[in-house]
Amino acid sequence: KNQVEQSPQSLIILEGKNCTLQCNYTVSPFSNLRWYKQDTGRGPVSLTIMTFSENTKSNGRYTATLDADTKQSSLHITASQLSDSASYICVVSPRAGKSTFGDGTTLTVKP
Amino acid sequence: DAGVIQSPRHEVTEMGQEVTLRCKPISGHDYLFWYRQTMMRGLELLIYFNNNVPIDDSGMPEDRFSAKMPNASFSTLKIQPSEPRDSAVYFCASSRPRDSPYEQYFGPGTRLTVT
């Protein structure tokens, strides 16, 4: 069964600090992995998309990494800002069939 | 472009009533997705369309749910009759894979409460 597990479930950090969110998956055969940011009361917004051949992708202060051999991905946030407070969702898609969504990590950035 | 537009943003209804959620995808996008999000189950894909044709509706919970896409700029998700367990946030998303493979653009969602 395809699964996506995200950790930690929630995280609190101080403004300006860095943090790393984890995503482990069992989806196979793998096609792509996406990280979304979802602000409270809003729809998810795409941060990064990585295919099998990509092992890192950046979007401003967000950097995602992918290890297709160990089936792990991480999202690193540099110099966090208050506006980074949100839920971060990892989505993994197989080459055929439906995507599997993680439960998300809730990040709170405090001043 | 205004992005994906959903209406209403909030809907409160009584059990047994019919509910219709509406979505206008981004102009030029040929895929449209309906999702449901709850605390217990997270984000779930209900159904998706390609060029207005339903491709996969295996995520639709039961026959009380139906979705249509009469044209490229409009889709509806209908629940009849509604039940309290249908309370959730329903998102519509659209995409144009030949421009941005795997990228999906989500609307703001409709928060449905069934009492």
Instruction: Give the tens place of pLDDT for each residue, A62-99.
Output: 999 999 999 999 999 999 999 999 999 999 999 888 89
Chain A residue nearest residue B101, CA to CA: A49
Contact list in B for residue A46 (CB cut-off 8 A) is 103-105
Q: Is A89 on the interface with B (CB under 8 A)?
A: yes
Q: Is B25 on the interface with A (CB under 8 A)?
A: no
Alpha-carbon gap, residue A7 to A20, rounded angstroms = 9
Residue-averaged pLDDT of chain A: 95
Give A71→chain B minimum CA distance, Å: 19
Specify the pLDDT at position A97.
82
As a whole number of angstroms, the longest Cα–Cα distance in chain B is 42
How far separated are the first and last CA of chain A, in Å rounded? 41
Tokens 């967000």 locate to A62
Alpha-carbon gap, residue A101 to B35, rounded angstroms = 11
- By percentage, how much of chain A surpasses pLDDT 70? 100
Alpha-carbon gap, residue B42 to B85, rounded angstroms = 14
Which residue out of A42, A52, A87, A89 would a mutagenesis test of the B interface target, given it has the greatest number of B Cβ atoms within 10 Å? A42
Contact list in A for residue B38 (CB cut-off 8 A) is none
Which residue out of B9, B39, B43, B92 would a mutagenesis test of the A interface target, given it has the greatest number of A Cβ atoms within 10 Å? B43
DSSP classification of residue B81: S
The three-state secondary structure class of A58 is strand
Encoding tokens for residue B103?
Answer: 């990228």
Across A35-64, average pLDDT: 96
Point out the residues of chain B with pLDDT beneath 70.
Answer: 1
